[in-house]
Homo-oligomer: A and B are copies of this chain.
Amino acid sequence: VATLGIDLGGTFARAAVVDAQGRILAADKAALGERTPDAVVDVIARAASAALRLAGNVDVTAVGVGAAGQLRGETGIIRVAPNLGWRDVPFGALLAARFNRPVRVVNDLSAAAWGELRVGAGRGVSDLLVVFVGSGVGSAIITHGQLTTGATGVAGEFGHIKVVPGGRPCGCGERGCLEAYVGGHNLTAQLRELLAEADPASPLARLASQLPPGAPALPPLLEQAAGAGDARAREVLTRAADALALAVANQVTVLNPGRLVLGGGTLTHLPLLKERIREGVQAWSSAVSRDGLTVADAELGDDSGIIGAALLASGGWG
């Protein structure tokens, strides 16, 4: 039995045919054009057709979608998808009409966590905390083998806990969120602020001047500059790393997971951040809560969401 997994981001949609063991049989990716729900459904349908054709037109019993946005529980309604400019779009119903199959829509991080749980770094664990740091920051919590969705479907909004009340503005419209300090997008913003006022002789300014013409300054430059002795780059990075590490340690204390899985591009490209999380969990989480805890890197990379969405469509939460 195979199902169709859909990964809906802000610029691309991917579709994959996934078997019951979580193997991708075939996949296709298409750029989004217009952002209206109907146009996005069209793009997804095209990618899905291509993937199905590649898979030899195997039958799929259901469709699972991991969408970059906030869901209204299990209704299939996308409450907010900032990158698409959507509010309260009944996306599950639209897709179900197109595919004539049951459709399940979940948050992209929930889907990714489910993929890691079932066939990735969380295999065999029933209490799992997954933390992803990419351009944003998110988490997913699995307890008793079930995804914690919360009362209105937005549990896991780890990026929007407040680490500095009244602090830096965040993309969510609030202030002082963890994501405002440590998400890739906001690390880039802080890097640019530093560069705008950096002494040209500072390690940061010198490293930036060595970038190829037109290449943007990206967060790994902070880590390079800090390593070269740049005090201000080190300060920004340390603040971000400490806030992230403390927040993860505290979640370990409260949730007592058997495994902590770390993923996302920002952690991949800034090994210092990932190292600091590991140190922080050791130093700051309650000793009894981390008893038996293992910390692992996410294993499925960009495929975790599409695999997780497909598996969620086929088999419920447990």
Chain A contacts to B: CB under 8 angstroms: 70, 79-80, 125-127, 139, 141, 143-144, 146, 148-158, 160-162, 165, 172-174, 177, 246-247, 249-251, 253-259, 283-284, 286-289, 291-293
Report whether A255 and B150 are in contact in the complex, using a CB–CB cutoff of 8 Å. Answer: yes
Report whether A257 and B150 are in contact in the complex, using a CB–CB cutoff of 8 Å. Answer: yes
Q: Tell me, rounded to whole Å, the shortest Cβ–Cβ distance linking A82 to chain B.
A: 12
User: Which are the 3 A-B pairs with shortest beta-carbon distances?
Assistant: A150-B256, A151-B258, A161-B250
Given contacts A157-B288, A162-B246, A254-B158, contact A151 B293 (CB under 8 A): yes
Given contacts A250-B162, A283-B165, contact A256 B289 (CB under 8 A): no
Given contacts A127-B150, A246-B162, contact A157 B284 (CB under 8 A): no
In the complex, which of the residues B157, B251, B283 contacts A286, with contact meaning CB atoms closer than 8 Å? B157
Report whether B151 and A256 are in contact in the complex, using a CB–CB cutoff of 8 Å. Answer: yes
In the complex, which of the residues B141, B173, B288 contacts A154, with contact meaning CB atoms closer than 8 Å? B288
Question: How many copies are assembled?
Answer: 2
Q: Would you list 25 pairs from A and B whose C-beta atoms are within 8 A, ordered by A residue? A: A125-B151, A127-B151, A139-B254, A144-B149, A150-B255, A151-B292, A152-B256, A152-B288, A154-B256, A154-B289, A155-B254, A155-B289, A156-B254, A156-B256, A157-B288, A157-B289, A158-B253, A161-B249, A161-B250, A162-B250, A162-B284, A165-B283, A165-B284, A173-B287, A174-B287
In the complex, which of the residues B157, B250, B258 contacts A253, with contact meaning CB atoms closer than 8 Å? B157
Name 6 extra pairs, CB < 8 A, besides A127-B151, A151-B257: A139-B254, A141-B254, A146-B146, A150-B256, A157-B286, A160-B253
Task: State in angstroms the CA–CA spacing of A287 and B259 once bound together.
Answer: 29
Task: State in angstroms the CA–CA spacing of A146 and B141 once bound together.
Answer: 14
Residue on B with the closest CB to A127? B151
Q: Tell me, rounded to whole Å, the shortest Cβ–Cβ distance linking A302 to chain B.
A: 25
Task: State in angstroms the CA–CA spacing of A288 and B293 once bound together.
Answer: 30
Report whether A286 and B254 are in contact in the complex, using a CB–CB cutoff of 8 Å. Answer: no
- Across-interface contacts of A173 in B (CB, < 8 A): 287
- Across-interface contacts of A257 in B (CB, < 8 A): 150-151
- Across-interface contacts of A143 in B (CB, < 8 A): 143, 146, 148-150, 155
Task: State in angstroms the CA–CA spacing of A54 and B65 once bound together.
Answer: 58
Report whether B79 and A288 are in contact in the complex, using a CB–CB cutoff of 8 Å. Answer: yes
